[in-house]
Amino acid sequence: MLSFSENIICASLFTGVYDVNINEMLQADDFQIVEKWVQSIRELGLNGFMFHNNFSQKTVSEHEYEQLRFCKVEFNSSLNANVYRYLVYFDFLKMHKNHIRNTFFTDIADVEVVKNPFADPLFIENSGNLFCGDEDEILDNPWMQDHCTHLRNQIDGFADFESKNKSETLFNCGVIGGQTKVMLELLDQLVQIHSTHTVTNQTPFTLDMGAFNYVARTYFADRLFHGFPVNTRFKGYESEREDYWFRHK
């Protein structure tokens, strides 16, 4: 059995649905998509948990082991894969909140674990904080302006948030983590937004980045760490760096 006593890193892969970020539909039973993430979990001896909707039992049997578990879930097509994962994570963490102390939720196709984040003094000494990735961009960039159109039109105060933080660093929700209490608070806010507003989204954008930046800066501004050592430079392809917790592209 996978131990939920301490720390766990979770990710998800939902296939058979069109991925607007890469402009293609991922194949249903392609383990290569997650192979680097799985290998990094194994090499560091960490506990991993992968949510999926289409891996075959053969694939699961070949790659599951004591510290890495696969969990098959039904995909809700009213939401895109980037945001549906938060509903899944929220249910999972609520169910196991008395056993899991700390967790990270990461992207899976382009993220690898480089160092055990839970053993870093920065993480241990700041247990009430939210940790997340970031980018070499500011919030007010053309892509985010388009990405946030629906949220801007739906959420009171969203435009004010954008104006107030327009020159601030853009956070990346491909790596988020912290103490279970912190993560439940974060996921509660994200699930409310996506269940209420994202379900009516007709734009070609997933809204995960807009919602996360809004929640992180609105509710966690004074208890948040981003950038080094959480993640390598986004899309920096810093394959030789070993001083970060996560490599994100």
Residue 147, sorted as left (phi over 0), alpha (psi -120 to 50) or beta, turns out to be: alpha
Give pLDDT, residue 238.
Answer: 74
pLDDT over 60 (residue 2): no
The letter for the amino acid at 25 is: M
> CB count, 10 Å around CB of 31?
14
Nearest CA-CA partner of 90 in 220, 215, 183: 183
The side-by-side arrangement of strands in the sheet containing 224-226 is 68-72, 48-52, 7-13, 102-106, 169-179, 130-138, 224-226
Query: How far is the C-alpha of 214 from the C-alpha of 148, rounded, in Å?
Result: 10
> Under DSSP, is residue 128 helix (H, G, I), strand (E, B) or coil?
coil
Cβ(65)–Cβ(86) below 8 Å: no
Helix 180-196 to helix 208-219 angle, to the nearest 10 degrees?
130
Instruction: State the pLDDT at residue 53.
Output: 97
34: its two tokens: 């997650």
5: pLDDT strictly greater than 70:
no
- For the cut 60, the answer to whether the pLDDT of residue 175 exceeds it is yes
Q: Which two tokens stand for residue 131?
A: 């940790």
Q: Residue 29: its pLDDT value, please?
A: 94
CA distance 184 to 27: 31
Arithmetic mean of pLDDT over the chain: 94
Amino acid in the structure at residue 93: L
Is the pLDDT reported for residue 240 higher than 80?
A: no
Residue 17 φ then ψ, to 5°: -125, 150
Q: Which of 37, 82, 85 is nearest to 63 (CA)?
A: 37
- Quick one: pLDDT at residue 25? 84
The reply to whether omega before 117 is within 30° of 0 (cis) is no
pTM of the entire predicted model: 0.95
Residue pair 12/108 in contact (Cβ under 8 Å)? The answer is: yes
Sorted by sequence, the CB contacts under 8 Å of residue 61 that are 6+ apart come out as none
Q: Average the pLDDT over 159-188 and give the result.
A: 98
Structure tokens at 73: 């879930």
pLDDT in tens, 203-235: 999 999 999 999 999 999 999 999 999 998 777
Q: Name the CATH superfamily, with its identifier, for domain 7-248.
A: Spore Coat Polysaccharide Biosynthesis Protein SpsA; Chain A (3.90.550.10)
Alpha helices in the chain (DSSP H): 35-44, 57-63, 81-95, 121-124, 142-147, 149-154, 158-164, 180-196, 208-219
Whether 26 has a pLDDT exceeding 90, the answer reads no
- Domain locations in the chain? 7-248
